Structures are given as structure tokens and as C-alpha cells.
Homo-oligomer: A and B are copies of this chain.
Amino acid sequence: MKRFAVGMLVLGAAWASVAHAAQPRCEVRTPMQRGLEYESVEVRPDRTILFRLCAPQAQGARVVSGDMAPAIPPGFDGKPSGLTMARDADDYWTATTPTPLAPGTYSFAFEIGGATMPDPQGTIFGRKDRGVHSIVEVPGPSADFFAYDPAVPHGRVSTVEYRSPSLGMMRRAQVYTPPGYEGRDAKNYPVLYLVHGATDSDDSWVAKGHAPYILDNLIAAGKAQPMIVVMPFGHTPARDGVARMENTDFGADFTTTLIPYIDRHYRTIPNAGHRAMAGLSMGGAHTLQFGLPRPDLFGSVGIFSIGLLDDDQMARYIATNDARLKQRARAKSFVYFAMGRDDFIYKRVAPTLAVMDRYGIRYQYHETGGGHDWPNWRDYLRDFVPLLFR
């Protein structure tokens, strides 16, 4: 097997347990000592998943997930969510997805008593805005482009913590450096700033999006320029009475603190021709607000699965950014915009295109299948990155 997904620890365990190794009986052990060990997630050959949880005193348990529909109902629009677990003969709560999952990377949590928790037996996790979810990988050829490939060189992901004067708090970002960067390579690199969506974190493009593996694979195939990818934390503290699209808190920190910090601490090429910004959903809104009108900062811009809501928002956007949108139209510039036809905010396409057309901004618009989800966002990143810094 040449390729395999990240998390061989879990996958190896899952594959091994397809043979249905006996589990120790579920019982409470002293929680702070090395507790009971059991296989909590079995990805079966038919790509259904069996979940197992030891919580012997619970009155009930469920598996919940926002990205495993239809196998696990996400519970949008007031519909039921999750899979109800049943107690087995060894006192575990178990549930199996009624339908298989496509190859991919998924997040899930267990719910007991109304609180959600990551898998206490898990080894792969993703941080949310608040809290942590568990990650499960379902391997398969269609997931190869975002899977860890042991045959190619790998970049590195490091955590940057910095003090933000504008926000008055510590902030965190993840930084991907391309293969060779940490070695005796003394080269300078272009930078892509890549922002996550609402409820997610700086970790999500790594844990869920597998942006580092997408870059590793594209760079190894000669399809993308080696580049640094900076993944900021997109949420800012709540401010009463200011809608998110008009909240400039993210942008102030991003443009006056984070970007100069990265240019000071990494071997960047610090000019607009070698700097790009992209984001999905809320991160795409950040890109519309702080990237598209800044041709002086970003030569290239990618907007994934978001857009201007309506005439009202269009008018405010134009009023705020008029001079800079004219500069964007005149600049040597690359604008990428992508939306799935089944996205629940598909209607935002038309107002967004209307604004760009009004200013004569050149763009590539990619309308795809699918909805507001990671399969699309990973595809968009794979398609966008090769077009950068050419």
C-alpha cells in the first residue's frame, strides 16, 4: 500500500479490530491513572463506522457529527441530530452508521446528558472555536490528494502565539512551512493566508482540511509553488450591535499585527505579488472584507462558499471599499471564487459577482456540485493553490 491516511495509529487499530478482537469489559477505572483501553472507532471494510464508548453509569449516549450526513444526521433546521447508542453485552454504548461514508476526514463527538465530548480513547483531534472534536479518517483513492503520502517530502506545521495590541489578547496561528524549509535551505517563499469558518479554529485547516498534505502533494507533483501557509484564528470576541461582516476586529489584528509578525519571523517575500489570502465561509467573508479590497497587500484572493448577502450589504460594501475596489480592478490580480450549487447560501453568488462586474474586477468563478462542506473546501484549495504565484 503506497498511500495511507494520517493517523495510522487509529486506522491501524481500526483495521486490526475488523477481526473483532474481544474488548475488555466496560467499567470505570480511576480516571487519572491509565484507564481502560478499548477500540472506540472501527472503520469497516464497507466504510460504515462502529462507535464504542465506555460510560457505564450514563442513562444514554449519542454520536453527533456536523459533517457525516446522511450517515449521521447533523440536526440542522430543528431536525433530529446524531445516532442513538445502545448498551451492548459488555456494557459499552455502541452505534454503527446505517450507511457508508465516502473516503474522507470527518469529525464527531459523543453526547452524554446534553454535553459533547471527544472520544476519550481517541488519538486524533481537531480544536473548535471552543472545545475539541474527534477526527476519523476513512481511507480511499478519492481521499488521496489530501492524505499523508509517505513517499513525498513533507512540510511542517508550527504554532505561532503572539500578542495582539488591537485585540488586547494573545492570538494563535498555525504556520505551514514547505518541505526543506527547516533544513539548510535559505530560500524565501511566498505566503498564503488561509482562514477557517465559523465555530472552527486556526487548527481546522490542518486537522479537517489537511491543507498541509494538500500542499505537500501538490508541491511534490510540481503542480504548486512551494509556499508558506499561515492559518490565523478567525474569531474575535463578540461586540454587541456590530454585524460580523462589518466587524473590523479581525482585519485590524490581521493586517497590522499578524502579517508584519510573519514577515519579521519567517523567510517570506514580503510584497503583494507574493502574498495571497483565501478563506471558507466566515473566513471567505474575512477575505471579501480584508483581502479583495487590498491589492496593495494581496495579489491573489480566494473566496470559498460565501458572498455578499443582499442589496443592502452590497451597498455598504461598495461605500466602504469603493476606492480600493477600483485599485483591485487596475491591479495585476488573481481572484478565485467558488460555490457549490447545493450550498444553503448559494444565493450570495449573484450579488458578489455583480459587485466585481461593476468594478471590472477580473475573476474566475467556479460553480461546483455539493454544498457548504469540507469536501468542497479541500477541492477548492487543491484547485486554487496551483494558480498562485505564477
Residues of A within 8 A of B (CB): 6-9, 12, 28, 30-34, 37, 53-59, 61, 64-66, 74-76, 78, 81-82, 109-123, 125, 127, 129-132, 148, 150, 154, 156-161, 163, 168-170, 175, 177, 181-184, 186, 198-199, 264-267
A26-B136 Cα distance, complex, nearest whole Å: 30
A257 to B184, CA, bound (A): 20
B117:A117 contact, CB within 8 angstroms: yes
In the complex, residue of chain B having the shortest beta-carbon distance to the beta carbon of A184 = B267
**Shortest distance from the beta carbon of A168 to any chain B beta carbon, whole Å:** 8
Known: A31-B111, A170-B6, A170-B7. A158 touches B158 (CB 8 A): yes
* A33→B125 CA distance, assembly (Å): 18
Whether A28 and B114, one on each chain, are in contact in the complex, defined by CB atoms closer than 8 angstroms, is yes
Known: A7-B170, A34-B199, A54-B115. 9 other contacts (CB 8 A): A30-B76, A33-B66, A55-B113, A58-B115, A112-B113, A112-B117, A113-B113, A117-B120, A122-B132
A199 and B32 alpha carbons, distance in the complex (Å)? 9
Q: Is the CB of A75 within 8 A of B112?
A: no
Contacts of A163 in B (CB 8 A): 8, 150
B59 engages A59 (CB within 8 Å)? yes
Contact residue among B123, B158, B198 (Cβ-Cβ distance under 8 Å from A130): B123
A37 to chain B, nearest CB (A): 7
- A118 adjacent to B118 (CB under 8 Å): yes
12 contacts between A and B (CB under 8 A): A28-B114, A30-B75, A32-B66, A37-B130, A56-B114, A58-B114, A117-B117, A117-B120, A154-B161, A156-B158, A156-B160, A184-B267
Minimum Cβ distance to chain B for residue A130 (Å)? 5
Q: How far is the CA of A165 from the CA of B127 in the complex (A)?
A: 30
CA distance A81 to B132 in the complex (A): 24
Given the known inter-chain contacts A6-B170, A115-B110, A170-B9, please indicate yes or no for A31 contacting B130, CB distance below 8 A. no
Considering the complex, give the chain B residue whose CB is closest to the CB of A28. B114
Collect the chain B residues with CB atoms within 8 Å of residue A53's CB: 115
Beta-carbon contact of A55 and B115 below 8 Å: yes
Q: Is the CB of A59 within 8 A of B115?
A: no
Chain B residues with Cβ below 8 Å from A168 are 12
CB distance from A144 to the nearest CB of B (A): 16
